[in-house]
Chains A and B, each alone.
Chain A
């Protein structure tokens, strides 16, 4: 079982560059999430999706965009990268009614450095 797959694992960006972090899940989960994890801080929600074609902002959405054209894929787009976006990014998914009744499944993360 692949579960939640994130690519790339590592990336270095220069200030002002753009990139897309890829996330795919093969569990037919409706709910998908993007979190960032900064040292000494808890994970913060960037964006989430409750199904194909439906996305919404989380706690820290500024500087990011998402799309959800299929159930399987939930890419995160960074436009005009800034040093404050240096972080580890995690994609997660869950089966039913979000986190009410089902645990989250996480990918292994993308470590992004913006210099």
Chain B
């Protein structure tokens, strides 16, 4: 069964710092990997989706990479802002009908 791990569970950084969030998964037979953002009391918002054949995806200040063979993905956030404070979750797809989620990294950006 696919297991998804995100470390650290929580991270605090000063505003303006660049940061990296990590995600690892146990089964490299994936179709894609998605990064989501979750604000308190809200649902998840999709940030980036990387197909298994891709190495990275970029959206604004966000860059996600995928190394399928080693079972790892990173989410790079450039020039962090207080509005980036949220929980970030990664999820891997091993089929059309399920995503396996990590437990998330809670990010706090300190003004």
Residue positions of A touching B, CB distance < 8 A: 4, 31, 33, 40-45, 48, 50, 56, 58-59, 90, 92, 97-109
Contacts and interface: CB of A to CB of B under 8 A. Distances in A.
Interface string B1-40: 0001000000000000000000000000001101010000
B75 interface: no
Contacts, number: 74
Q: What's the interface size class on B, roughly?
A: 20 to 34
B101 interface: yes
B100 A42 contact: yes
Contacts of A98: 93, 95-97
Contacts of A50: 96-97
Contacts of A90: 43-44
A68 B89 CA distance: 28
Given A99-B34, A103-B34, A109 B42 contact: yes
A56 B98 CA distance: 11
Given A99-B31, A108-B42, A48 B98 contact: yes
B4 to A, nearest CB: 6
Given A90-B43, A90-B44, A109-B42, A59 B97 contact: no
B51 interface: yes
Interface in B71-103: 89, 91, 93, 95-103
A101 B103 CA distance: 23
Contacts of A92: 43-44
A66 B83 CA distance: 37
Nearest to A103: B46
A4 B103 contact: no
B103 A104 contact: no
